[in-house]
Structures are given as C-alpha cells and as structure tokens.
Amino acid sequence: MTDSANAYLSLAETTGHDDPRWAFGSGFEQQDAAEVASPVPDGVAAADLAAYCLMLGDDALLAGHRLTEWVSNAPELEEEVALANIALDLLGQARVLLARAGHVEGAGRDEDTLAYLRTEAEFRHVALAEQPDDLDFGRCVARLLVFSTWRLALLHRLLGSADPVLAAVAGKGVKEVAYHRDHAARWTLRLGDGTPESHRRMQAALEWVWPFVDELFRPSDEERRLAAAGVAVDPAQVRAEFDAVLHEVLVRATLTRPDRPGIGPVAGRGGRQGLHTEKLGPLLAEMQSVARQHPGATW
C-alpha cells in the first residue's frame, strides 16, 4: 500500500499472496461478520434456523443473480448501474445469511460451498426469485416490485428477531430494500401511466408475475415453528401489507391487479421444500459453472 490516496493504483499493485483484493489478488474473503458465530437462540432447533437462513439467503442470491443478467443489456446506462447496485445489496444479504446457515448447520460448509455446490433440490427459495424475465424490462420491474415489497415487509418484522444475525441483516436490509421497492414502484408508475405501449407491456408483465405471488405467503413448517419462537416471520402475516402497497402503486399507475391463480404446491411441496420450476437448472448451470469447473480455485 504505497499510494493509498489512489484506490486504482493500490488495487493494481502486486503485494503478495496474503493481500486479498476485491478486484485482483487472491479472491474474496469469506463473509466474517462477527454476528455469524452467535449461538443459536434458546429453544430453537438448529436445523430449522439453518433452513430459514437458506430460504432468505437463496431468495436474495437468485433474485440478485437474475438482476445481474441486465448488466450490459439495460435500456440505459443509469438503469444498468441501478440494477447492478440492487443485485449487489441482495448478494451482500445472501452472503451473510448463507454464512449463518453454514455456521448453524455445523457441517463445515461455507457461503461459497452453499452457493456453488448445492444441487437444485437443496435450494430453498421461492419460485419468483428464479424466474427469468428474458430481458423484458417490464417483467424485470414487475418481479422487483413484488419481490422487494414482500421482502421489505419480512425484513421489517425481522428487526426484532431473537436471532442476532437475522436482526442484523434486517437492520441493514430494511433500508436497502425500501430503496429497491421505491425504484421498482416509480418505474411501474412511469410505465403504467406512460404511453399505450408501455401501459400494455407493464400490465402484461404483471399478469406474467402474478402466478408466483401466492407462494410468497405460504408458510413452511420451519417458518411456523421459528415464528412461534420469535425468530422468523410467518409470511402469511405480511399479505395485508403487501396487498396495500401493491394497491397503492397499481392505482396510481392506472394498472389492474391481475386475477390469476397462483402456481400451487405439488403434493404439498414448493420452493421452500426444494421443489422448483424448470427455470432453476439452467440458472444454476451458469451461476455455478466456474466453481464446478475449477474446484477450489482462487484468483
């Protein structure tokens, strides 16, 4: 570190093997927030807590990954920066949550192992998070509006979680996801109350996303047990808040709330139980390709 006043110069230095850099050097350090090693709260099954951290972490990881598909494809440079920043916030939340899941599980899996070496059925996210928008900007906005409205309501309630990691992730995440939600809501307004073509496409995007809404409010067994222990949120409890926010946005945007049935659980199983749509396989194939082709590689 000879010239700390110039960030780019110091990044490009060759300073040895023990000098991790975010852009060059030996690779990312593991997420090491002090809270991650906190003990499991009393009266809580470690397996439940690990599963719940995976659920919220996987939601953020996959929704963030979908947003990064817009990098180099966004309609304008500012929007590309916006979507990449939102993805980065979600990735940051995912890293802490996966690290916590790995710590609580106690089997030696770290955040990278969990992100890059699990198979489809081991992921616990909702179907919404994995849906590709096929670079249709209206779909991107609709998915982000639904996702961030739902996640903000969850995080807001997790501020008082008995688990210090969930409370800490919520403490930072509430501010971040509120900003994401405002971004999506303003685009919904602009497109819905814009030209006839933008209105038509925004309405079509809402119709596309709507079948994935109901699952967001369907509690898993783990969530029910953890909510009773003051650790998790029963997602059914945030439906009213979600509906009120969506109503406010859609009315202002001259859009119509879709009337479409949700995709149902299959034999009682959905994303939270590891049963996903056909969209997940190709996503994981891409997201995990480098880690699987070069096991243990750092750079």
Partner 1 sequence: MVSAAAARAAAAAVVDPEMPMLTIADLGILREVTERGGAVSVTITPTYSGCPAVDAIRADVRAALAAAGFAAVEVRTVLAPPWSTDWITEDGRRKLAAAGVAPPGPAAPRPAGPVPLTLVPPASAVRCPRCGAADTVELSRFGPTACTALRRCRACAEPFEHVKEL
**Residues binding partner 1: number (CB under 8 A):** 58
Helix axes 239-252, 164-192, angle to 10 degrees: 20
Q: Closest CB to partner 1 among 81 and 290?
A: 81
- Is residue 188 a contact partner of residue 141, using CB atoms and an 8 Å limit? yes
**Per-residue x/- marks for partner 1, 257-296, CB under 8 A?**
----------------------------------------
Q: How many Cβ atoms sit within 10 Å of the Cβ of residue 160?
A: 11
Residues 6 or more apart in contact with residue 193 via CB below 8 angstroms: 199, 252, 253, 254
Q: Which of 226, 249, 280, 284 binds partner 1 (CB under 8 A)?
A: 249
- Give the nearer residue to partner 1 in terms of CB position, either 175 or 279: 175
* Partners of 266 in beta bridges: 269
Q: Taking CB under 8 A as the rule, does residue 148 contact partner 1?
A: no
Q: Does 78 bind partner 1 (CB under 8 A)?
A: yes
Residue 236 in the binding site for partner 1 (CB under 8 A): no
Cβ of residue 29: shortest distance to partner 1, in angstroms?
5
**Please, what is the Cα angle at 268 between 265 and 273, to 5 degrees?**
85
Q: Binding partner 1 by CB under 8 A: which of 126, 144, 185, 231?
A: 185
- Are 101 and 31 spatial neighbours (Cβ–Cβ below 8 Å)? no
Contacts of 207 (CB under 8 A, 6+ apart): 258, 260
Q: How far is CA 171 from the centre of its chain?
A: 16
At its nearest, how many Å lie between partner 1 and the CB of residue 71?
13
**Stretch of 40-48, 150-158, 262-270, 290-298 lying at the interface with partner 1 (CB under 8 A):** 150-158
Instruction: Based on the shown chain and the rule CB under 8 A, indicate whether residue 248 belongs to the binding site for partner 1.
Output: yes
Residue 252 as a binder of partner 1 (CB under 8 A): the answer is yes
State the Cα–Cα distance between residues 256 and 212, nearest whole angstrom: 17
If one counts every other C-beta atom within 10 angstroms of the C-beta of residue 149, the result is: 23
Do 55 and 220 touch, CB atoms closer than 8 A? yes
Binding of partner 1 by 6 (CB under 8 A): yes
For partner 1, the closer of residues 185 and 209 by Cβ is 185
Q: How far apart are alpha carbons 71 and 84 in whole angstroms?
A: 7
Indicate the residue among 6 and 256 with the shorter CB distance to partner 1.
6
The pair of three-digit structure tokens given for residue 289, joined into one six-digit string? 């390709």
The reply to whether 92 sits near partner 1 by the rule CB under 8 A is: yes
Among positions 5, 107, 266, 267, the unique one binding partner 1 when judged by CB under 8 A: 5
Taken as a whole, the chain contains a residue count of 299
| Nearest Cα to Cα of residue 173 among 91, 242, 50 | 91
- 154 sits near partner 1 (criterion: CB under 8 A): no
CA distance 184 to 192: 12
179 binds partner 1 (CB under 8 A): yes
167: contact with partner 1 by CB under 8 A: yes
Helix (H, G, I), strand (E, B) or coil at 90: helix
Which is closer to partner 1, CB of 4 or CB of 14? 4
Residue 17 binds to partner 1 (criterion: CB under 8 A)? no
Q: Could you list the residues that contact partner 1 (CB under 8 A)?
A: 1, 4-7, 10-11, 15, 19-22, 28-29, 32-35, 78, 81-82, 85-86, 88-93, 95-96, 152-153, 156, 164-165, 167-169, 171-176, 178-179, 181-183, 185-186, 189, 241, 245, 248-249, 252
